[in-house]
Amino acid sequence: MDQEIVDIQDLDGVGPVTAGKLREAGFDSIVAVAVAPIRELVDKAGLEASAANKIVKAARRQITTDFITAKQLYDRRQNLRRLTLGSINLNKLLGGGIETQAITEFVGEWGSGKSQLCMQLSVTAQLPNKDGGLEGKVLFIDTEGTFSAERVYQIAQASQLQGEKILEGIFCSRVYNSDHQVLTVDHAFKLCQEENIRLLIIDSVLSHFRSEYIGRETLAERQQKLNSHLHKLTRLAQALNLAVVVTNQVQANPQAFFGDPTRPAGGNILAHASTHRIMLKKASGGLRCARVIDSPYLPESEAFFQITEKGIEDATPKSRRED
Ligand SMILES: Nc1ncnc2c1ncn2[C@@H]1O[C@H](COP(=O)(O)OP(=O)(O)OP(=O)(O)O)[C@@H](O)[C@H]1O
Ligand SMILES: [Mg+2]
């Protein structure tokens, strides 16, 4: 049997120079190399295509064979975990909670509660499995500067958790442009493995892409870059059994004369990458309504919640109360 290889430098075809290039480009573990498209090793690490091909194959031999049986697929699904949102209504809406091995996207207008939900999840992810947590740490990629440690502390304390300990379990990265965001995710493989990160959040995933790529002529480039970014997120979620949560704003849709005039930003690319899409809306009485708008198996139902000083809590709209 082959000896187990743990460092990329021990892979066939990787010397110190190549290892340096790979690490610098974020391909710093066997898994990260194994799941990378060869084109990315060429573009980002500056390798020759033939060398990249050989290295990826060597890494894949370490991880798994190219074919897996349906039984293995089934077993992988058995490892799937669900993360509680801290609200029975929302958990039910999502079939028991937020799934690992998938991307869950929360879409909504300003103030609809997307960032609050992300901060709440940064707390619940650290809970033990028996309490609906993932028993792991969190990587919070903040593109808008709205992450608040004080708020996370408040939510943790309200659940009788140690606020400081919870804050220590959250790695925050404030990213300032789309390249920075892409690079941060490229480098996340190693951190996620070393630190037992079980939840990766991007709040919000498109804001930099939207502000930097303006006008039709830039659309193709934007979508290409976004596509590769989202694929990377999917690979992270699946290879490391993490939950990935992204938020997204709605954009005006002038073509919608009837019904809802807003739709999620990002077009088809984001729609295809996200496994589950949940629309958040402000409802009367200060409540929030969450609705499944796209999912392979969740029914299109809705749930109500409210944002309080404790975080996310269940709510029932007045019109549906018994009294
Ligand atoms: N400590 C708190 N107690 C009660 N409600 C709060 C508290 N902090 C925030 N909120 C509520 O959360 C709302 C903000 O929600 P949030 O920031 O999650 O919106 P968002 O969907 O991320 O919006 P944006 O698109 O602007 O980022 C506030 O309007 C307020 O109603
Ligand atoms: Mg926000």
* 70: its two tokens: 């349906």
Ligand nearest to the CA of 117: 1
Ligand nearest to the CA of 154: 1
Residue nearest to atom 10 of ligand 1 (CA): 307
Cα–Cα dist 159/162, whole Å: 9
Q: How many other β-carbons are positioned within 10 Å of the β-carbon of residue 254?
A: 7
pLDDT at 260: 57
In single-letter form, the type of residue at position 175 comes to V
Ligand nearest to the CA of 111: 1
| Closest ligand 1 atom to 113 CA | 18
**Rg of the Cα atoms in the chain:** 21
pLDDT at 66: 56
Q: Is the CB of 249 under 6 A from ligand 1?
A: yes
pLDDT at 254: 54
pLDDT at 2: 43
Cα–Cα dist 112/283, whole Å: 9
Cα–Cα dist 67/57, whole Å: 13
Provide the CB-side half-sphere exposure for 65 (13 A, CA): 5
Contact assessment for residue 305 and residue 315, using Cβ atoms and an 8 Å cutoff = yes
| Closest ligand 1 atom to 309 CA | 3
pLDDT at 60: 84
Cα–Cα distances in Å, from 317 out to 93, 220, 282? 16, 43, 12
pLDDT at 1: 37
Residue 109 CA to ligand 1 centre (angstroms): 11
Q: Is the CB of 177 under 6 A from ligand 1?
A: no
Cα–Cα dist 63/58, whole Å: 9
**Residues of the chain where predicted confidence (pLDDT) is lower than 70:** 1-5, 64-67, 252-262, 267, 320-323
Residue 90 CA to ligand 2 centre (angstroms): 19
Residue 115 CA to ligand 2 centre (angstroms): 4
Residue nearest to atom 16 of ligand 1 (CA): 113
Residue nearest to atom 24 of ligand 1 (CA): 110
Contact assessment for residue 115 and residue 252, using Cβ atoms and an 8 Å cutoff = no
Contact assessment for residue 189 and residue 162, using Cβ atoms and an 8 Å cutoff = no
Q: Is the CB of 311 under 6 A from ligand 1?
A: no
Q: Is the CB of 248 under 6 A from ligand 1?
A: no
- By DSSP bridging, strand 276-282 and strand 311-314 are unpaired
pLDDT at 261: 55
Instruction: Give residues with Cβ within 8 angstroms of 282, minimum separation 6.
Output: 109, 111, 112, 288, 289
Residue 147's SS3 state is coil
Ligand nearest to the CA of 153: 1
pLDDT at 64: 57
pLDDT at 119: 98
